[in-house]
Structure 1
Amino acid sequence: MPASAVGGRDTKPVDMASSRLPDQASLDQIGRHDRILLLQGPNGPFFFRLASLLLAKGCRVTKVNFNGGDDVFYRSGDIIRFTQPMVLWESFLRNLLAGRCIDAIVVFGTSRRHHRIAVRVAESLGIAFWAFEEGYVRPDYITLERGGVNADSPLGPLAMEGIPKLGNPAKPRKFQHSFRKMAAYSFWYFAGGMGGVRRYPHYRHHKPFGVHEVGQWVRAAYRKQVYRWQERELRERLLASDHPHFFLVALQVYNDSQIRVHSPWRRIEDFIEWTIHSFAEHAPAESVLVFKHHPMDRGHTDYAATIEACATRFGASGRIVYIHDAHLPSLLHRCMGLVTVNSTTGLQALFHRVPVIALGRCFYAKPGLTYQGSLDAFWNDPGAVNMKTYVRFRNYLVRVSQINSSFYADDMLLAMPERRGWNWHRRMPARLLCAFGLLAADTYSGRPWDIVATVNVLAAMLVG
């Protein structure tokens, strides 16, 4: 973590030239408050470590735990456990804010019901509301904004004309094994949630605590290996030098609140149908439409049947492709344009000079930056990315909302010792159990069993 993110209060004289620039996003922005309330954070110890930093700066920190998963990673300090029905949360929160004289609320994501209520209460009382989110610029960044994130970001209503020109940000620090550590933290969070059901009888997580959910994540690990084998020829065709002219559609997680709350659709399936119909009716006959599955949704959904049915119904069979695990930057380098609802994949596409159309409410969908016409027209003339405009927006975005850190793998904030010395003969029984467990978890999916892919997956897990 940079010194500006973890140090004490700034007592240096203010430089008038730099004071005209927007504040650099950092944890110091939270540390300027005296009494801070933490609600739910990312899976893992990040909020506990954040509280330690804030306490060291002289802040008073209170944490609300909502389930057993919160208890696993935040176990000491001023903790209040909310065990009542959600209908009582607003009155509970107002009493807590008054009793502790809170002047700032901090959350991870603004779409969970208790966070949506909290932002409304904070606004009504004039209390600062800070929200973390996964980095808009990935990897190696996390997002911190005042007021909300994603579609609720304060960047949303800001016109390009109001964005100052800033220099390029410094080269960011890199973080290793972020996904692996996130998966481990999520496992223990989920286990704690299941174990704490009796203590928190009224809590409802956005991904239900239960054996079924565990099975879906186990299945996701298995499917990752299967798709890698099954889709190898398709990947080669799309990434070849003579690849077809294709448009890319970035699918989002099936229960993403950005779809349900900030788009014209309630389900991903509705968005798929709308997009295929438009493509079939208006896109050039030689072009192809590629749907890219969201990697975090691998074990929960499979849209193959929906996509095939829509392609047949709208007369686009043979022109619609569905892929799960191709390297996204490689696909972006080769596609003619990206279609998204409001995913931050759109920012990645702009970085690779790919025209983007965002069909939902989206903080970066601005004139001069993304395509502003209809989807029907986008297929024939997506235009070109104005890189000067993009760089101007990105530099401002990084300065005001991005912190060079990781929720899961920043050793300067989250020093977590790793266990070593697990010998091969000890790993093999676990690999056997894991391999056959993954196979068993996929049996209830209803998908055809590809024996060749299964053999290759098991061999890779046992030998690799």
Structure 2
Amino acid sequence: MQKRAFLFLQGVCSPFYQRLALKLASDGHLVVKVHFNAGDIAYWRRSLGKSHLFRGPLDQLPDYLRTLWNRYAITDQVLFGDRRPVHRQAIDHAQAAGIRTHVFEEGYFRPFWITLEREGVNGHSLLPRDPAWFFETGRALPALPKPVRFKSSFKLRARHDVAYHLAGLANPLVAPRYRNHASITAPREYAGYIKRFSLLKRWKKRDNLRVKALIEGKRPFFLLPLQLNTDAQIRDHSPYANMAEVMDHVMGSFAEHAPADAFLCIKNHPLDMLLVSHLHTVKRLARFYGLEERIVYLESGDLEALVKHAAGTVTVNSTVGIVALENACPTFALSDPIYNLSGLTCDGTLDEFWVSPPPPSSALFDDFRTTVMHTVQVNGGFYCQKGIELAVNNAAHVLEACPSPLEKLL
């Protein structure tokens, strides 16, 4: 095995990064870390290898990274999320320097998988957008092994997030120029979650009745699952500025073109922080488009049950799109996810989708899923002990391989 030099940039808020670095170091590779804030430092062990704190303005980062690339003869860089400001310039300049970039992200297929791709994820993925390629590739690959399962609670993830941001209280001294990639501060985020979870019990009882009425009713319904306004699918991979624009577009089209007896079910994201009232937006738009009696709004509810019975799903949410396709639900993609392929999502316009939504090809989806699983999904998780252990061992094999599993097929 060729020995390599890995430069770690920002990671996920958990012990995953340092344990992955420890594994690579034990395999004989050089590991170097760049810290951007106090949270990065708190989730790293000094014994893992060389580490450096970047304290300069963002426009100095490319030169800073080049210095490290040359000083340590870096061959690979590892990061979580390809659209963070501190990562964009690293990705843009690495290929010209002959450096491989490995991007971690939450799994395309969940809950027992994480994503690990070369160069970028989602709209920047190297996965082709050619259905014929997936047909040919998927059928040549072996059957998918069953993933090792594990339990990872939201409370554990929240504890790591809180610990990371508590360390960030030292940023004015440690990294005064650092600006978080998220537009919402941690205290506002936590306050929103506390409010949401305090109301969840009441919502569930009400929403379960609404879901039951939709499923058992005789009228068709379409599903619009909302995404977080701060998500990269909105910011970087869609033409919309926020979910209000999405709802305006979808509800306007629905009012004019959907069958007169159809409902539109709008379901909020389960991690929405309630900083913006989507319910108020829905009510305002429903009045404007004359849809007061045809909109069903949910804060909770069984997503899989909804997509199994929906006449179609309109989504800017990459994960929900996968769930919809898995359940053979006609799907219209408002963004540019990896599954936006002819034969899976609707090729026509949104106006046409309401009238005759085409079902996805089950054969194409099977080959698509097989290919994605074999190439860019890693069995494991970022937060619980068992998930991290799986992710570290499985990801290390991909990081050390050259070419990567996807590159071999391309």
Structure 2 length-normalised TM: 0.89
- CA displacement at 1:125 relative to structure 2: 1.4
Counterpart selection for 2:318 from 324, 343, 349: 343
- The count of aligned residue pairs is 383
Question: Partners in 2 of 1:210 and 1:171 — Cα distance?
Answer: 37
Which of 70, 73, 97 is the equivalent residue of 1:98?
70
In the other structure, the counterpart of 1:352 is: 327
What amino acid does structure 1 have at the position aligned with 2:270? P
* CA distance in 2 between partners of 1:129 and 1:223 (Å): 42
In structure 2, give the amino acid aligned to 1:219.
Answer: K
**Identical aligned pairs, as a percentage?**
34
1:391 Cα deviation (Å)?
Answer: 0.1
The answer for the alignment partner of 2:120 in structure 1 is 148
1:255 aligns with 2:223: no
Q: Partner residue of 1:368?
A: 343
CA contact (8 A) 2:39 2:164 kept: yes
Amino acid paired to 2:307: L
Given that 2:85 and 2:181 are in contact with CA atoms closer than 8 Å, whether structure 1 keeps it comes out as: no
Cα pair 1:194 1:209 within 8 Å, conserved: no
Other-structure match for 1:231: 207
Cα separation, 2, equivalents of 1:132 and 1:33: 21
How far is 1:352 from its partner? 0.6
CA-CA distance at 1:197 after TM superposition: 3.4
Contact 1:218 1:299 in 2 (8 A): no
**Alignment match, 2:285:** 310
Range that drifts further, 255-264 or 366-375: 255-264
Structure 2 counterpart of 1:108 = 80
Query: CA, structure 1 residues 62+184, in 2 after alignment: closer, same or farther (shift >3 Å)?
Result: same
1:131-146 alignment, distance < 5 Å: 131-146=103-118
Residue 211 of structure 1 aligns to which amino acid in structure 2?
A: P
Q: How far apart, in 1, do the equivalents of 2:165 and 2:384 lie?
A: 19
In structure 2, the gaps of 5 or more residues are: 391-410
Alpha-carbon deviations, 1:432-455, whole Å to 9, x = none? xxxxxxxxxxxxxxxxxxxxxxxx
CA drift at 1:243:
5.9
In 2, are the aligned partners of 1:194 and 1:210 still within 8 Å (CA)? no
> In the TM superposition, what is the alpha-carbon distance from 1:224 to its structure 2 partner?
2.7
Question: What letter corresponds to residue 213 of structure 2 in structure 1?
Answer: R
Distance in 1 between residues matched to 2:106 and 2:388, nearest whole Å: 16
Residue 85 of structure 1 aligns with which residue? 57
CA contact (8 A) 1:67 1:197 kept: no
Structure 1 residues 300, 69: closer, same or farther in 2, change over 3 A? Answer: farther
The letter for the 2-side match of 1:218 is I
2-side partners of 1:104 and 1:159: how far apart?
28
Deviations 1:69-115 (A, max 9, x none): 21221132321111222222122112111111111111111010111
Q: Which amino acid counterpart does residue 211 of structure 2 have in structure 1?
A: R
Deviations 1:278-303 (A, max 9, x none): 00000001111111111122443330
Question: Which residue among 54, 74, 80 is the counterpart of 2:44?
Answer: 74
**Residue 158 and residue 231 in structure 1: after superposition, are their counterparts in 2 closer, same or farther (change >3 A)?**
closer
The corresponding residue for 1:441 is: none
CA RMSD of aligned residues (A): 1.8
**What one-letter code is carried by the residue in structure 2 that aligns with 1:151?**
G
Other structure's SS at 1:411 match:
helix
Considering only CA atoms, is the larger Rg found in Structure 1 or Structure 2? 1
Change in CA separation of 1:199 and 1:275 when aligned onto 2, cut-off 3 Å: same
Deviations 1:25-67 (A, max 9, x none): xxxxxxx661001111111111000001100110101111111
Return the alpha-carbon distance in structure 1 between the equivalents of residues 225 and 244 of structure 2.
13
The equivalent residue for 2:194 is 218
Q: Distance in 2 between matches of 1:328 and 1:139?
A: 14
Alignment check: 8 A CA contact 1:237 1:243 kept: no
Question: The residue matched to 1:291 in structure 2 has which SS?
Answer: strand
Structure 2 distance, partners of 1:218, 1:145, is 34
Are positions 1:45 and 2:38 aligned together?
no
TM-score, normalization by structure 1? 0.79
Q: Is the 8 A contact 2:381 2:387 kept in 1?
A: no
- Aligned CA distance change for structure 1 residues 51 and 253 (closer, same or farther; 3 Å): same
Q: Equivalent residue for 2:133?
A: 162
Looking at structure 2, the residues matched to 176 and 211 of structure 1 have their Cα atoms a distance apart, in angstroms, of 27
Q: How far off is 1:223 after superposition? A: 3.2
The CA deviation at 1:342 is 4.9
Spell out, residue by residue over 1:302-360, the C-alpha distance to the aligned partner (whole angstroms, 9 max, x if none): 30111111111111111112112112111111111111125221111110111111122
Contact persistence 2:151–2:384 (CA under 8 A): yes
Letter in 2 for 1:185: H
Contact residue 68 and residue 196 of structure 1 kept, 8 A: yes
Report the Cα offset of residue 410 of structure 1.
4.5
Distance 1:173 1:248 in 2: 31
Cα distance, 1:252 vs structure 2: 0.9
Q: 1:81 to 1:261 in 2, by over 3 A?
A: same
User: Does residue 65 of structure 1 match 2:35?
Assistant: yes
Decide whether aligned partners of structure 1 residues 150 and 210 sit closer, same or farther in structure 2, where only a CA change above 3 A counts.
Answer: closer
Structure 1 gap segments, 5+ residues each:
1-8, 10-31, 416-464
Find the residue that maps to 1:290 and give its secondary structure.
strand
Question: What residue number does 2:181 align with?
Answer: 206
Q: Give the direction of change, closer, same or farther, for the CA distance of 1:366–1:210 in structure 2 (3 Å limit).
A: closer
Contact 2:196-2:274 within 8 A present in 1 as well: yes
AA at the equivalent of 1:228: K
CA contact (8 A) 1:282 1:376 kept: yes
* Cα pair 2:226 2:268 within 8 Å, conserved: yes
Distance in 2, Cα, partners of 1:224 & 1:205: 29
Question: How big is the shift at 1:209?
Answer: 4.1
- Verify the 8 A CA contact 1:178 1:406 in the aligned structure 2: no
Q: For residues 102 and 61 of structure 1, what CA distance do their matches in structure 2 show? A: 9
Q: What code does the residue aligned with 2:386 have?
A: D
Separation in 1, partners of 2:198, 2:151: 23
Q: Write the deviation string for residues 226-273 of structure 1: whole angstroms up to 9, x where unpaired.
A: 42244343233234x336411111211111122122211112111110
Once the 2 structures are TM-superposed, how far is the Cα of residue 210 of structure 1 from its aligned partner?
Answer: 5.1
State whether residues 171 and 178 of structure 2, in contact with CA within 8 Å, keep that contact through their aligned partners in structure 1: no
